[in-house]
Structure 1
Amino acid sequence: MSPILIQALQFLLSLSLLIVLHEMGHFLPAKAFKTRVEKFYLFFDIKFSLFKKKIGETVYGIGWLPLGGYVKIAGMIDESMDTDQMNEPPKPWEFRSKPAWQRLIIMLGGVTVNFLVAWVIYIGTSFAYGDAYIAADSIEDGYHVTNPVLLELGVQTGDKLVAIDGQRYAKYDDLRRNMITADRITIERDGVEREIELPEDFLGQLSTGEDLSLFNLRFPFMVGEVSDSSLNKDADLQPGDLVLSLAGEPVKYYDQVAPIMDTLANRTIPVSIERDAETRTLQLQTDENGKLGIYPGGSMKRFSEMGYFDTVTEEYSFGESIAVGGRKFVDQIGGYWLQLKKIFTPSTGAYKGVGGFKAIFDIFPDFWSWQGFWEITAFLSIMLAVLNLLPIPALDGGHVMFLLYEMVSGRKPSDKFMEYAQMVGFFLLIALILFANGNDVYKALFK
């Protein structure tokens, strides 16, 4: 099966699952309050459906446009803009006839389910897979830094990242995840700690730059493959050989290779390698660009075994998984909320990095991993819930905003006002979708 097809299957399965569960969150309380649900759809059925079947009073179906899904609740002004029923007297089974508190529960049902799904997934993955992470304090020689934004701030390869906004983290992944929303970082160089203030538009600069990397792990120069076009294709090189020196210059990390080779074009140089605990020296040729034609290889497991960093594996009982999963759930919500806050703050430039469906598609790996699939699905579930809570009339958050106004003031907005609000919200939502997917197109064409 092709890698792209594997990505596509994970993408469609994850989104379909989240959409159905979200709409189920509206459907179940609506039925519990004896409110008629006319349609329950996965994807949008503009003009026609791929599948539909009426069961009782509800038509269940699958549309052809995979941009979401919906439940059509009788007596409610929604994205369908079906206002004919609103010109008739209210019926007891209609949404508009129900008490405000019942309507509020119906509208909050979707995001509530999405939050619950994420929480349950984090508990389940913690119990089933545990946690495997690289211990941040085990990285002795710092990180490999190539991002021009960080380089301009004075960060160098070999610096240790010890804190984000004053907080120290035990896990390398936590450092990377929290850095994109940071205001300042603390690095250590030659045993001395130094605090660096990040520019307000740091996230925006990262999003628009060609190099999206931050602090990368440093790996040894281990032979992975020799190119067929390499001058050294017939040399005595094997996958797994560890390069120790180039032209007499010691090499501990792969990022040290380029500065050495820049001055060694069109040369035959001695290269010291280690194989099966034995050291041998080979005479290798460089091309006009100072390249050996050797692709690096190795694995995280192998590098950990060699002592470049420590990989920690933690397993949890079911009871422990509830606490660990809850902590991951809260951390993800907090992190995503910070990102969203920066996106809606124009001065940060973070909006430049907003992505649409391709950006979501690219999150999924090109190989099948149930652990990865569920963890990505949990994050997307949180993202879907938070976005739906935005106070835009076409979203759940917009309906909730008007319901809260009604409950506090005792005055219900008129149907005509709700029609106009829904229309404005719909066009605003379309604009946001076009902007996000337009960013995807721009990056694909010009980055």
Structure 2
Amino acid sequence: MFERTDIDHLPRHRRLLLLAALYMAQGLPFGLFVQALPVILRQQGVSLEAIGLSSLLALPWALKFLWAPWLDRAPAFGGLRAAVPRRLGWLWPLHLLAAAALLGLSTLDPTTELRLLLSGVFLINLLNASQDIVTDGLAVDLLPPSERGPGNGLQVGAYRLGMIVGGALVLVLIEAAGWSTGLRLATLLLLLTLSPLLFVRELPSPTRQNAPVRTSPSTEDTPAHLGVLLDFLRRPGALSALLAIALYKLGDALAAGMLRPWLVDQGLSTGDLGKLLGGFGFGAGLLGAALGAFAAYRLTRHRALLLGALVQATGVALYVPLARIAAAGTLSPGGSLATAVVIDHLTGGVATVVLFTCMMDACRPRHAGADYTLMASVVVIATGAAQAFSGLSAAHLGYPSHFALASLCAALGGLAAVILLRSHPFLSTGPVNAPEAPPTPRLP
């Protein structure tokens, strides 16, 4: 049995377990909705354009940078109680509220109460996006530079494991036992990811060592919340880095936006999609995350980014010939389709881990949660815009040309990102496994 340990003094295996549980908690409902929602909408005859626009339900993930500086530095409940810790004080209520919202969705009929379902999905995205701010700041705090490659591999892997559970196990159960039973199981699994939090403690914000004291946003020590973001943008090369981050996953998102509607149009059932994408696909994503962590550890940042860009574009390109074959007939869940899904998710996992590792390097120690959230929001805005556009693209170009366009965007966007980051050394460029410099103490 684990003893309760201060969160700043956890041994390596304990802090990795904690972070894995927190990221898995975010992936579980996302995996469920990203798999189930497009299927439900398409089965009800919703247009491809509207399905593409449903990605806007993830808007909180794109806009979370607006409240990240406040959430990153403020104790929960406004510091009304001195005993409220800065990180755990937010994680507990956000996690429990997300579980309550998911349980509430289990009472709905998704075919007749679609508006309430969409509202619930938006609320859960808002809660999970806020939890992600706190978790990302905690990850930057807990992981030294030499552990960030493996740490980000664990982050993406745990998130995808949550997506496997939510996107495969729960979807198969929904097909067999119904919507309510599936979502109740998902709620139970979400609550189980809280268990590592039971064995850690955190000193309250005013007394925690190395943590900034929460005073007033108008003081000299604590800049206004938007000032934190403006300070980040004033850094040399920051705008070029944000553009590179936006371009890196653009083509991959354009393809992913129409993958599920395309498969529904080929006659695949909810259970088939759960097994193919939630099982084979997200499982391959786990392996991709591990390979991405290895690449981020062994290669320089720029070489790892280039590798990720090339393999990601290759994975997307595999859908082009399959879409042409499907236009003349139907595809089965196995064979070449399963192979393409596996390779696509594997290569996407590699690229994601490398990108997230570079983003973590760019964070300022005193504003880690806000900085990382800003960069992650740029990724979400870019990928969300691509997914929103994907329905329009597929409807007017057809699936084969749509996937060809996505592959081209993945290749050109990835290469452009690498060139931008080489021209503006905003991110770390050295090998990840280089000896660490002595830690710089945080100022109060």
Q: Give TM-score scaled by structure 1 length.
A: 0.28
The one of the two structures with greater contact order (alpha-carbon pairs below 8 A, sep at least 6) is: 2
Structure number with bigger Rg: 1
Q: More helix per residue: 1 or 2?
A: 2
